[in-house]
C-alpha cells in the first residue's frame, strides 16, 4: 500500500545557507543506498522535504533496511498516496488507512492536515476537524488528544494527497560527503571499523589504509580487511582502501630498536605513512580506533608519542569507550563476526612480552636515530607498494 517515503532529517535542517549542500549530499547517499534495492525509485526535494517515490513494485522491508543505513536521516515515514477525488473519498481513504495500520484501535490521535496546494476547497483547520470526526464515527474506541496524541495522522494536500503516520527511526548523523574526507587506519580488529563508522556518521567520507606484512600476515588477513571495508561502505559509501606492504619497515625497526619499543615506533611509522597517503588523497584528518588504556600502545603517554608525528588532526572517536561498548556498536553494524576471525594482523606480530607503557618521547626519538640510514628509503618503497582496492557494498 505504501508508495513513497518521506525522509526526515534533523541536524541538516538548521545549517543556514549551506543547507542545499547538505540536502544534495543526503539525496546522493539515498540514491547510493537504493541502488542495492529491488525496484525503481525517484528522489524529489520539495518545500524542504525529501521524498523517495517508488516507480515500480518494490520490497518494502529491504528498502527500509537500506534507508536505515543513510546517515543524515532521522526518520523514515512510509507514505500512502491517493488521488484527489473530493473530500468524501479522502475521508474514506483515511479511515481505511487507520483500519489497516492500527489493529488495536484503543489509541489517542490527532489529524494534522497541511495544504501545499492552497486552492483546495477546505482549509487545514476544517480538514482536521472533519477528518477527525470521520475517524471517531468509524472507530468509537479511538480518542482525540490534541496535545499528546499517540498517533499523528498527517494529511498533505499536494498534486496527490499523501497520508502518513508512522516514523521509523533512521541512523541520525549527517550525510556522508558533507564534511570532507579522512583517512582511516584499518586493521583487522574490532575497533577500527567502528571508528570509521562513527566518523562517517558525522558526514565525513572515508578512505582507508591497511598495513600488510607478508609472509607474517596472510592473504586471508588482507581479504578480511577488504571485507571489513565493504561492511563499513554499507554506511560510508565506497571506501578507497590503500594496501601498503609494511614488512621491511617492521623488520628494520625490529632489528635496530629496543624490542620493548617496537610497537610504539611501528605505530609512529604507520601514522607517518598514513598521513602521507592522506595528504596525497585530499584527506583532512586521520581516524584510528584507539581507546585510552586498551593496550600498551594506547596509554595516554603512548598516544601522545604516536600523535607527535602527525600534523593532521587525528580523530579517535572511541577514545572514551570501553571494549564492551565498542563490541556493541560493531555487532550493531555487522562488523563483529568478521573482525574476530583469527588471522594474524600486523599489530600482533613481533610484539614484545613487556612493551613500554609510558614511553618517553625523547628516548623514543633517540632510538629512532638508529633507523636513520635506511628508513626514508624504506618508507618511500612502502609508499610505492600502494595497492588501491575500492570496497563497495553491493
Partner 1 sequence: MEVYLDNSATTRCFDEVAALMTQIMCEDYGNPSSLHRKGVQAEKYIRYAKDVIARNLKVNEKEIYFTSGGTESDNLALRGCAYANCRSGRHLITTQIEHPAVLQTMRHLEEEGFRVTYLPVDEKGCIRLEDLQRAITGETILVSIMHTNNEVGSLQPVAEAGALIKRMNPHILFHVDAVQGYGKFRIYPKKMKIDLLSVSGHKIHGPKGSGFLYVDEKVKIKPILFGGGQQGGVRSGTENVPAIAGLGKAVELVYSNLDQDMAQMYRLKKAFVEGVRKIPDAVLNGHPDETGAPHVVSVSVKGVRSEVLLHALEDKEIYVSAGSACSARKPQPSATLRAMGIDQELLGSTIRFSFSVFTTMEEINYTLQTMYDIIPMLRKYK
Q: Which residues lie near partner 1 (CB under 8 A)?
A: 214-218, 251, 254-255, 342-344, 348-351
Q: How far is the CB of 348 from partner 1 (least distance, A)?
A: 5
Nearest to 77 by CA among 88, 91, 67: 67
Q: How far is the CB of 306 from partner 1 (least distance, A)?
A: 22
Q: Which is nearer to partner 1, 98 or 347 (CB)?
A: 347
Q: How far is the CB of 329 from partner 1 (least distance, A)?
A: 21
Q: How far is the CB of 189 from partner 1 (least distance, A)?
A: 10
Q: Which three cell numbers stand for residue 297?
A: 600502545
What are the angstrom distances between the C-alpha of 229 and each of 144, 208, 261, 385? 50, 8, 30, 19
Q: Which is nearer to partner 1, 166 or 351 (CB)?
A: 351
Question: Residue 392's CB: how many other CB atoms inside 10 A?
Answer: 14
Q: Which is nearer to partner 1, 157 or 346 (CB)?
A: 346
User: DSSP secondary-structure letter at 107?
Assistant: -
Distance separating alpha carbons of residues 73 and 69, to the nearest angstrom: 9
Alpha helices by DSSP H, listed for the chain, are 19-34, 60-67, 87-101, 124-138, 191-201, 219-236, 247-256, 262-280, 300-307, 323-333, 336-339, 361-368, 375-384
Q: Which is nearer to partner 1, 121 or 215 (CB)?
A: 215
Decide: 250 and 266 in contact? Cβ < 8 Å: yes
Q: Which is nearer to partner 1, 218 or 301 (CB)?
A: 218
Q: How far is the CB of 219 from partner 1 (least distance, A)?
A: 8
Q: How far is the CB of 343 from partner 1 (least distance, A)?
A: 7
Distance separating alpha carbons of residues 338 and 275, to the nearest angstrom: 27
Q: Which is nearer to partner 1, 139 or 252 (CB)?
A: 252
What are the angstrom distances between the C-alpha of 70 and each of 25, 48, 64, 180, 247? 11, 18, 10, 17, 37
Distance separating alpha carbons of residues 289 and 199, to the nearest angstrom: 11
Q: How far is the CB of 214 from partner 1 (least distance, A)?
A: 6
Q: Which is nearer to partner 1, 74 or 218 (CB)?
A: 218
Amino acid at each position: 500500500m505504501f508508495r513513497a517515503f518521506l525522509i526526515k532529517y534533523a541536524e541538516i535542517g538548521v545549517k543556514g545557507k549551506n543547507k542545499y549542500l547538505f540536502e544534495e549530499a543526503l539525496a546522493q547517499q539515498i540514491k547510493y543506498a537504493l541502488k542495492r534495492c529491488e525496484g525503481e525509485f525517484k528522489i524529489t526535494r520539495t518545500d524542504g522535504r525529501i521524498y523517495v517515490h517508488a516507480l515500480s513494485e518494490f520490497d518494502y522491508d529491504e528498502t527500509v533496511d537500506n534507508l536505515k543505513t543513510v546517515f543524515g536521516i532521522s526518520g523514515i515515514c512510509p507514505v500512502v498516496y491517493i488521488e484527489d477525488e473530493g473530500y468524501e473519498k479522502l475521508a474514506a481513504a483515511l479511515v481505511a488507512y487507520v483500519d489497516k495500520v492500527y489493529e488495536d484501535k484503543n489509541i489517542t490521535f490527532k489529524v494534522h492536515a497541511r495544504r501545499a496546494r492552497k486552492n483546495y476547497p477546505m482549509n487545514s483547520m476544517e480538514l482536521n476537524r472533519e477528518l477527525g470526526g470521520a475517524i471517531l464515527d468509524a472507530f468509537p474506541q479511538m480518542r482525540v488528544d490534541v496535545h499528546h496524541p499517540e498517533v499523528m495522522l498527517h494529511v498533505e494536500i499536494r498534486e496527490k494527497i499523501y497520508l502518513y503516520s508512522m516514523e521509523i527511526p533512521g541512523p541520525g548523523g549527517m550525510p556522508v560527503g558533507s564534511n570532507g574526507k579522512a583517512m582511516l587506519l584499518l586493521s583487522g580488529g574490532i575497533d577500527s571499523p567502528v571508528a570509521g563508522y562513527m566518523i562517517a556518521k558525522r558526514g565525513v567520507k572515508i578512505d582507508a589504509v591497511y598495513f600488510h606484512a607478508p609472509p607474517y600476515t596472510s592473504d586471508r588477513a588482507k581479504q578480511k580487511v577488504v571485507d571489513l571495508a565493504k561492511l563499513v561502505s554499507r554506511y560510508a559509501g565506497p571506501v578507497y582502501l590503500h594496501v601498503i606492504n609494511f614488512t621491511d619497515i617492521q623488520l628494520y625497526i625490529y632489528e635496530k630498536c629496543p624490542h620493548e619499543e617496537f610497537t610504539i615506533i611501528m605505530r609512529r611509522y604507520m601514522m607517518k605513512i598514513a598521513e602521507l597517503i592522506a595528504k596525497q588523497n585530499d584527506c583532512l584528518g586521520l581516524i584510528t580506533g584507539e581507546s585510552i588504556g586498551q593496550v600498551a600502545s594506547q596509554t595516554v603517554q603512548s598516544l601522545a608519542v604516536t600523535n607527535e608525528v602527525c600534523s593532521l588532526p587525528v580523530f579517535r572517536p572511541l577514545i572514551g569507550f570501553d571494549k564492551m561498548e565498542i563490541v556493541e556498536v560493531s555487532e550493531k553494524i555487522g562488523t563483529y563476526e568478521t573482525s574476530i576471525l583469527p588471522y594474524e594482523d600486523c599489530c600482533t606480530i613481533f610484539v614484545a612480552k613487556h612493551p613500554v607503557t609510558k614511553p618517553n618521547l625523547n628516548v623514543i626519538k633517540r632510538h629512532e636515530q638508529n633507523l636513520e640510514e635506511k628508513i626514508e628509503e624504506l618508507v618511500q618503497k612502502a609508499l610505492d607498494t600502494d595497492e588501491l582496492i575500492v570496497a563497495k557494498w553491493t
